[in-house]
Each structure stands twice: as structure tokens, then as C-alpha cells.
A and B are shown apart, each in its own frame.
Chain A
Amino acid sequence: MRRLIARRLLVSVALVFIISLMTFVLQSAAPGDAARTILGDYQDPERYEYIREQLGLDDPVLVQYWRWLSQALRGDLGSSLISGIDVSHAITSRLPVTLSLMFTATMAVTLVGVGLGVIAAVRRGRLGRAIDVLSLVGHAVPNFWFALVLVTLFAVTIRLFPATGYVPLSASPGGWARSLVLPVTAIALPGAAVFAKHTRDQMLEVLSKDFVRALRANGASELSIVFRHGLRNAAIPVVTLIGLTFIGLFSGIVLIEAIFAMPGMGRLMITAATSRDLPTLQGVVVVVTLVVVAVNLVTDLVYGWLNPRVRVR
């Protein structure tokens, strides 16, 4: 176990380094730069050169990268080329928002998905077919359309939840929860349908195995078969799916953050990318990579705990 973690940490460091270098090089190679964003509508050639020089954009790409890296290793992620705002500050004020969304959405997807999947596996028949159809719909429905429908129904027509905004947990737990209901539903419901189908398929496969028939013949209660034996075995691939879901949710979150006007990382990343704000983008990329690596590690550890056969000796 310790060797697994140690090896993973080493790989993570290398991964963060490689990804940050690639991001930097790709951004620098793309047409346009932060100076163009600052100039806006008035692309005065003299001003452009002046600003480029001020921002250090005339130096070779690797020199610029080294400048960023040496600062970052000392804990200083720099400031935005466009607004001058400290990057660490921008990220720390937005990370809780995105993490709140991602964790609650993953939990919702898992609980609803697994719940529905188990029920459908045990009951079969119409419910099972309904879940198949819902899963297809879940795949096809665009997040943002669903979000707008939710807002129109539950925020504007029936004033049940706030139409926009995010309330920090520290300010008001009730407000925090309420501000998350609609965004999480928008992200989670389509994903939960897909999750339910996978769970159901896995459960059906496990429940049809010989050892289950043997357990039944030996008099084990149906409940223990479903939950202790069935689910635990079906959970193995499902756990992997949870990890992938968490990471996959990030792309949907960008749109949701925009629609609900939530100050999260998704929007920060998109704005930084289109305006070529290199330090901010680098900061976001590094943080996101670290989160992904952490989630993968946890998933693998849980997977190993659930399935003794793949534990690393």
C-alpha cells in the first residue's frame, strides 16, 4: 500500500510538471496573447509592442516558463496579466465553489444512480426498461438546457430556490444547501440515469452468478445477498465509475457555473484561456491536475480495499 502511494506521488509530480509545460507551450503557440486582450477594440501597434514588453511576452517561451516555474515552486503563482489580481487568491476564493458542486453532484449521482440501479436489478420488468430509456435520455439531454428548465420552473415560476448565486457554507449552511439544489440537480440527474444503468447491469451479472445461487440454496436472506454479496461485488467497477464521474463532471460544471452565475474555477479557466492570461491558466491547470490525481489515487485505494484480488503486495 505504501509503495503504491509513494509511486503514485512520484508520477503525480511528473504529471503536473508535464501538463503545466504543455499548457504553457500550447498557449504561447496559439495566435493572440494577453496584450491583444488588454488592447481590446483599439489594436494600436505601438501600444501593443509596449504592453508586450511590459508583460515580458517578448522573451523566449522556455524562459517565460522557467520564470513561472521558479516562482511557482516557491509558492508564488503570480498575478493575472490582465487584471493584476493574485492568482492564488483568485483560485482559493473559487475552489470551494467548484468543489462543493463536484462533491455534492458526485454524491447525488452515486446515491440516486446506485439506488435506482439496485432497485431495477432486483425488481426487473418495467422499472428496468424505464431505467434503460431514462439512461439514454440522460445521455442525450444537454446540461445547460436542463438547467434553464429547472430555473424557469423552480426559481422563477415557483419561487422555491434562488435563480443564481452561491452562498458560502460559512455564511449560512441552509443558504449554501439551497443555492446548490438546482445546479446539482442539473448536473447530476442526467448522470444518475447513466449510473443507474451501469449499476443495474453489474448487479444483474453478479446476481446471476453460481455463488449467489449457492448462497440462496444455503438459506441466506435475500437482503444479505443483494447488499452484502451482490452490491459489494458490483461495486468494484462502479467505484471506478464514481472516480471517472467526478472528473468528468468538471466539463459540465463550466456551463452550470455560467448559467447560475457561480464564482467557480470553471469560468476562471475559460476566461483565462480565451484571454491568454497565462499565469491564471497555469494556476488553474496545476490545481485541477492535483485534484484529478488525488481522486484517482483514492479510487484505486478503495478499489483495492473492495477487491482483494488486485491489491498490490
Chain B
Amino acid sequence: MRSHTVRRKLARSRRALTAMLVLTIFLITACSNETSSSSGPSVSGADDTATDDEPTGDELVLRVGAGAPPSTLNPALGGGVEEVFLSLTYDPLFVRAGSGHEPRLVESWTAESGNTEFEVTLRGGVEFSDGTPLTADAVKANVEYFIEAGGPSQGQLSGISSMEVVDELTLRLTFSEPQPLFTELFSVGAGWMISPAAIDEPQMLATETFGAGPYVLVPEDTVANDTYTYVPNPEYWNPDGVYWDKVIIKVLPDENTALAAITTGQVDVIHGAVGTLDAAEEAGLQLAAGRGIVLGMQLNDREGTLSPPLGDVRVRQAINFAVDREAITQAVIGKAGIATEQLAAPGGVGHNETDFYTYDPDLARELLAEAGYSEGFTLPVVVANAFQQTVVEAIGGELEQIGVTLDISVVEGAAYGESLAEFPASALGWGVPHPHKMGRALWLRGATGVNPFDSSDPMVEELDQQALLADEETQEDLYRQLMRRLVEQAWFVPVGIRPSLLFYRDTVVIDAVPGAALPTPESWRPAG
């Protein structure tokens, strides 16, 4: 029969094919392994898997896996996500230090007239990476540009009524309203100083950096949204502050990809996620935890326009009593989470030591019945992503017990902002900065963050106004009262705080301060 001839021939060609395949794999693996195994003790911590650019000799390279790409490289338009990418190249006027701020490009400063007049004296001899000197005129040009560019700090900077150049290195700023957070305003964001030469041609800021920071971006080795390469800035005013010969930031948005990359040595630091926390610990990685964000739900429709039940404070309080914060935090955020009923972190300004709510579904049912909703009701909620959906669904599970049903809609991307006014409630996912800042985002009249029904409480407004003029100690007490009022009025249903995390190998040293935001890459040092 001829068929077994064919079979033998096929069998032979199959064996040949398999042999070829194995040989090819072997060759490919061997070919690209030879470059990495010859690099000797790798100071960057990379294993002997090939990567696209190898450390040569004892070059110190910091490889970072960032959780999200920067939407822009222009400091005037950048915000929290861009910090990682921009802090390497743009030194700010003031820098975060512990829970406060320290002068950086500023030498000294004074505040007068109840936080309305400020005078800053700049450090002498500082130049931007393009050689332009840092002067008071440059700072003034920066403030004007930041306002014109329409970035996140435009609102706060618009409070500046006048600026006066006193001398080459001294600038006087006058605010129309008291600004208790002057140093914070000029730290991340508005504090990033851009060379005036680049301000004249702002389109350059999309692809190159012109700051007075320790490093500069290398556009030739940068692929937007994927890889960002930095080398030391030769004009940097503090050469001791340059720790690395090269910094490479890769964008690794998937948490599993990021973990695989760091365990195989492709990167030294990644943005951690609560989901991969256990795996990271097992892999022997170090952990740094920062302030993070508070998660839960916002009951925006406090007047009861779209959802009449929400107009009654007893209903809102009932919702807060019906939620088992500890359980949800453990389940959704994990062991790194901190259960909370308030929009403040332990150790932060405005945080109250004692709680107003307990987990008491019976009391919740009583309150609902008092308000006339013993049958319960349905509450539409809008969320922006899958993680927020998980949190709100967990809350929904608890609320079922008291007869309140959550009707969750997911609206992603650019459409989310516009959808907020169509729902009585939304997901809560906000950082926990100073209450002065948070108020202007979430709970004061004219708040520009998430306050779609423009709610305003007279006691909250009054306390905030008083805090503007008070000294630090009184301020803290006033903000604690303010926070307590928000909790009692049940404008929000906070559940827990999810800290921001960094996982890193022991070749890097990161000095995280508990309760403060995570330190940014220019401060990360090589170990040993």
C-alpha cells in the first residue's frame, strides 16, 4: 500500500521539522544570551535575560516600571500621573519632605498679612538644562504660562493678584484670598520651573524637557507611552543629587506584567498593586507605601433632586451604618488597606481619632423607617472603571440587607465627567491631600472636582473660612471639626484607604515616610 510510504515520508519530514524548530529556538536563545552573560556583576540588578540595552561596565542604571503613561510631558499641564516622569527633570520651588515641604530651588521665603503676601528668594547660580539662568523673571514667566496653558493649577494660581520682581533672585507674590498651602502649591505641579526659552516655544515641551532637575530626557531613546530614557543634566546645581548614570522608565500598565518584569530583573522598581502584594512579598521584593486614595461612594445628590431619599440625612446616615468597612476593605483592598469612615488618613490633617459610625444594620433599618423608606429604594450609581465597580458592588451587597439596591453603571474615559450630573451617586476615589485642597475639589461651593450638584453646607463653609486665617494648631482643630461635620451629614460613604505602593529590588533604596505621598524617582538611591 502506498499510504505507508507517504506516512514514512511524512514522519521523516516531521522529525526534520521538529529538529529544525528545536535548533532554531536554541540558536535564538544562544544568540541573544551571549550579550548579557558577558556583562559580569550587573549593578542595575538585571538578571541574565537579554534586555534591549545592556549596562556597560559598572554603569548605574535605574529601571522603573510605571503603572500608567504620562498624558503629557508639559509640566504646566501635568498632574499626579506625570510626577514620576517629570520629577526627574524638573526641580520644583519646594519639595515634599516628610509630611511638609522644604525649599529646593528657593533659598528662603516669608509669608505676611495672613497668608496673602509672600516673598521668595531663589537659590543663586541655578541654570536650566538649556543653560538659561533661573531668575525671578523666569519664575514670573512660569506662573503666567501655567495660568495661560490651562493646566490643573490654573484655578489656584489665578488667586495671585500681582507679582513684583524685587531683584534678580527675589519675587513678591500677592494673593487675593489667603493661601494657607503656599509651599504645597509650588511643589509638585505649579512649582516645576520651565526654562523661559522653552516657554516661548511651548510645542517643544511635548517631546523634550527643559527643567532645572537632575536629569534630562533623551528623545532619541524615547518611545511615547512606552519607554522614557533619561541621562544626567550637566547643568544641575547639585551634582551630589545625581545618583544614576541612566534612568529608564517603561510603561507596564498590567500588574501581572509588571510583576513578571521585576521578578525576571527587567526592572528594579514597579508601581505595586494590592492584588499582587502577596506575590511580591513571596518574591522577596521590598515594599514602600504612600498616602494613597480613599475609596467608597459619594452621595452627591444631597438635595434629593434626582433621588428624593438622598435628600434626607437619616437615609444617608443609614447607608453609612449599614456598611461593614473592615470586611469590605479586607476583601477588596487587602491587608494593606485601612478601613475609614472619613476622607482623611491616620496622621493626616483633619483626621478624627474616634469614629462616628459603627457597623449596625439594625440601626440603619430604623433610620430608614423613620425617614419613611422602610420598603427600601433603588439608587443609581456611576463608576469610572472596573476596580471602582468592585468597591461599589461590595457596598451594594451590604445595602441589600437594609433594602437599598444599587444600580451601577460603568462610564469610562472622557465621558465620565459629563455623566456625573445624571446620577445621584458616584464612586469615591480621591487622594487624601490637605483638607483645604480636598474641599476645593469635593465639598465647598464651586468645587471643581466631583461635586456635580454644587452642594454646600454653611457650617463647612464657615469652618473652612476660619481655617484660612488661623495658625497651624487651630487650623488642625478646625479641620477636624469640618471633617466630623461631613461625616455626620453623611455626604460620602468612605470605606477604606488603598495605599499607593512601590515594589522594589534590594539594589535600590527608597525612603518612604508613613502617611505621606510616595517619594519620587529622583530621590531613589542605589543600595550600598
Chain A residues with a Cβ under 8 A of chain B: 30-34, 36-45, 47, 50-51, 54, 79, 82-85, 90, 93-94, 115, 119, 122-123, 148, 151-152, 155-156, 159-165, 167-168, 171-175, 177-178, 181, 216, 221-223, 226, 258-261, 263, 267-268, 271, 273-276
CB B159 to nearest CB in A, in angstroms, measures 13
CB A149 to nearest CB in B, in angstroms, measures 11
Q: Are A156 and B263 closer than 8 Å at their CB atoms?
A: yes
- Within residues 204 to 220 of chain B, which ones have a CB less than 8 A from any CB in chain A? 205-207
Q: Are A44 and B261 closer than 8 Å at their CB atoms?
A: no
Cα–Cα, bound, A216→B257 (Å): 55
CB B19 to nearest CB in A, in angstroms, measures 14
Q: Which of A36, A85, A155, A273 contacts B206 (CB 8 A)?
A: A85
Q: Are A260 and B206 closer than 8 Å at their CB atoms?
A: no
Secondary structure call for the A interface: helix
Whether B448 is near chain A, meaning CB under 8 Å from some CB there, is: yes
Q: Are B252 and A159 closer than 8 Å at their CB atoms?
A: no
Q: Which of B2, B48, B74, B264 contacts A221 (CB 8 A)?
A: B2
Cα–Cα, bound, A119→B18 (Å): 14
Whether B527 is near chain A, meaning CB under 8 Å from some CB there, is: no
Cα–Cα, bound, A90→B224 (Å): 7
Q: Are B417 and A32 closer than 8 Å at their CB atoms?
A: yes
Q: Are B71 and A261 closer than 8 Å at their CB atoms?
A: no
Q: Are B6 and A42 closer than 8 Å at their CB atoms?
A: no
CB A77 to nearest CB in B, in angstroms, measures 14
Chain A residue at smallest Cβ distance from B430 = A41
Given contacts A222-B6, A223-B6, contact A271 B414 (CB under 8 A): no
Q: Are A82 and B250 closer than 8 Å at their CB atoms?
A: no
Which of B9, B207, B257 has the largest count of A CB atoms less than 10 A from its CB?
A: B257
Residues of B within 8 A of A223 (CB): 5-6, 9
Cα–Cα, bound, A90→B72 (Å): 14
Q: Are B52 and A32 closer than 8 Å at their CB atoms?
A: no
Which of A164, A171, A178, A260 has the largest count of B CB atoms less than 10 A from its CB?
A: A164
Q: Are B72 and A83 closer than 8 Å at their CB atoms?
A: yes
The interface size of chain B toward A, counting residues with CB under 8 Å, comes to 69
Residues of B within 8 A of A54 (CB): 150
Residues of A within 8 A of B413 (CB): 32, 37, 273-276
Given contacts A90-B224, A181-B28, contact A32 B414 (CB under 8 A): yes
Chain B residues with a Cβ under 8 A of chain A: 2-3, 5-7, 9-10, 14, 17, 25, 28-29, 31-32, 35, 47-52, 69-74, 77, 79, 150, 152, 154-155, 203, 205-207, 223-227, 250-254, 256-257, 260-261, 263-264, 266, 411-420, 430, 441, 448-450
Residues of A within 8 A of B250 (CB): 164-165, 261
Q: Are B261 and A163 closer than 8 Å at their CB atoms?
A: yes
Given contacts A36-B414, A83-B71, contact A163 B254 (CB under 8 A): no
Residues of A within 8 A of B72 (CB): 38, 82-84
Sampled A-B contacts (15; CB under 8 Å): A36-B414, A43-B449, A44-B448, A83-B206, A83-B224, A84-B205, A84-B206, A85-B206, A151-B260, A159-B49, A177-B32, A221-B2, A258-B257, A261-B250, A261-B261
Residues of A within 8 A of B256 (CB): 148, 151, 259
Q: Are B225 and A263 closer than 8 Å at their CB atoms?
A: yes
Chain A residue at smallest Cβ distance from B267 = A164
Residues of A within 8 A of B51 (CB): 162, 165
Cα–Cα, bound, A164→B251 (Å): 10
Chain A residue at smallest Cβ distance from B265 = A159
Residues of A within 8 A of B224 (CB): 83, 85, 90, 93
